[in-house]
């Protein structure tokens, strides 16, 4: 009986460990963040139409867009990040940084406290949102002057005070206000419906599984890195030139201002 109880406890502990690992995995954190943002967007008036988890074909595979809001006031392309800690980044950096400081206490003869610093890097979400914007424009080329607003929204307990961006990088509590500040009508009801129909037709989520999409991402990343390391602009094929700016040196495209690609 004792051995059976031991086995049951061991299985329960293993199950708990696996569940916590699964629950805290980046994929599940991302899904919880996207679900939370969907709930927020559902609070918008009926004139705003929300599309979630849009996958569009690109020249190099596919791109996945967390949320697209179609309204008479333009389109809003939303990239969701579920992070905590301090976030450091700007529009030009290829990678942003997450810093998590945790107080750890231990005891031998007396209690001591020290701060453990965890530093993680992730791809610039502003660039992600702008990339999604370009792909949507390509799929909606009939609307040449279509207003599309990129928004990066952070859920969780992230501190964005160290982020510098000319685009919208906001907390989840500010998302609706950010969208509602655009009140100039640029699309008729018919155009809104036509755009919704076009994006729905172009959405290939049902035929492209997550594994294939991830493989496409890695393939595109390898191609991007190869072009940059060879001194070639991955956006237009121009030559990358070393330049100096407010935040130090960076590489910019020789076709500037027609192409504004930069990297560090």
Q: Hey, which of 16-30, 97-111, 141-155, 203-217 has the most confident mean pLDDT? A: 141-155
- Beta strand extents in 132-185 (DSSP E only): 148-164, 168-171
Rounded to whole angstroms, the Cα distance separating 197 from 219 reads: 30
Query: Which of 78-87, 91-100, 250-259 bottoms out in mean pLDDT, i.e. has the lowest?
Result: 250-259
User: Within a 10 A sphere around the Cβ of 18, how many other Cβ atoms?
Assistant: 10
Q: Is-contact 211 218, C-beta < 8 A? A: no
For the chain, how long is the longest CA-to-CA vector? 77
Q: Hey, which of 90-104, 185-199, 205-219 has the most confident mean pLDDT? A: 185-199
Looking at residue 59, its pLDDT comes to 82
Q: Report helix, strand or coil for 124.
A: coil
Determine the average pLDDT of the residues in 198-220: 65
Looking at residue 162, its pLDDT comes to 93
Task: Report how far Cα 207 is from the mean position of its chain's Cα atoms.
Answer: 22
β-strands 148-164, 95-107 pairing: unpaired
CB burial class (10 A; 0-12, 13-18, 19+) of residue 178? Answer: middle
Whether 34 shows a pLDDT value over 60: the answer reads: yes
Q: What is the pTM of this model?
A: 0.68
Indicate the pLDDT class of residue 258, thresholds 50, 70 and 90.
confident
User: Within a 10 A sphere around the Cβ of 94, how many other Cβ atoms?
Assistant: 15
For the segment 41-53, what is each residue's pLDDT rounded down to a tens digit?
999 999 999 999 9
Q: If you count them, how many residues does the chain have?
A: 264
């Amino acid at each position: 009986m004792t051995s059976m109880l031991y086995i049951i406890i061991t299985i329960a502990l293993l199950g708990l460990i696996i569940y916590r690992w699964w629950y805290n995995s980046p994929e599940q954190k991302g899904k919880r963040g996207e679900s939370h943002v969907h709930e927020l967007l559902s609070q918008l008036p009926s004139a705003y139409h929300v599309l979630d988890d849009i996958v569009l074909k690109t020249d190099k595979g596919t791109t996945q867009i967390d949320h697209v809001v179609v309204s008479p006031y333009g389109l809003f392309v939303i990239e969701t990040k579920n992070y905590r800690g301090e976030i450091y980044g700007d529009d030009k950096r290829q990678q942003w940084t997450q810093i998590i400081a945790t107080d750890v206490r231990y005891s031998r003869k007396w209690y001591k406290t020290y701060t453990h610093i965890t530093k993680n890097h992730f791809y610039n979400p502003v660039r992600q949102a702008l990339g999604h914007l370009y792909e949507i424009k390509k799929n909606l080329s009939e609307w040449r002057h279509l207003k599309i607003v990129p928004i990066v929204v952070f859920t969780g307990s992230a501190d964005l005070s160290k982020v510098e961006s000319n685009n919208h990088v906001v907390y989840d509590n500010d998302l609706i206000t950010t969208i509602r500040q655009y009140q100039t009508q640029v699309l008729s009801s018919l155009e809104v419906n036509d755009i919704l129909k076009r994006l729905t037709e172009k959405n290939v989520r049902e035929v492209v599984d997550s594994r294939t999409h991830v493989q496409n991402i890695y393939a595109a990343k390898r191609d991007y890195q190869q072009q940059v390391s060879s001194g070639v602009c991955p956006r237009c094929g121009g030559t990358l030139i070393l330049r100096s700016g407010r935040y130090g040196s960076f590489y910019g495209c020789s076709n500037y201002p027609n192409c504004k690609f930069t990297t560090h």
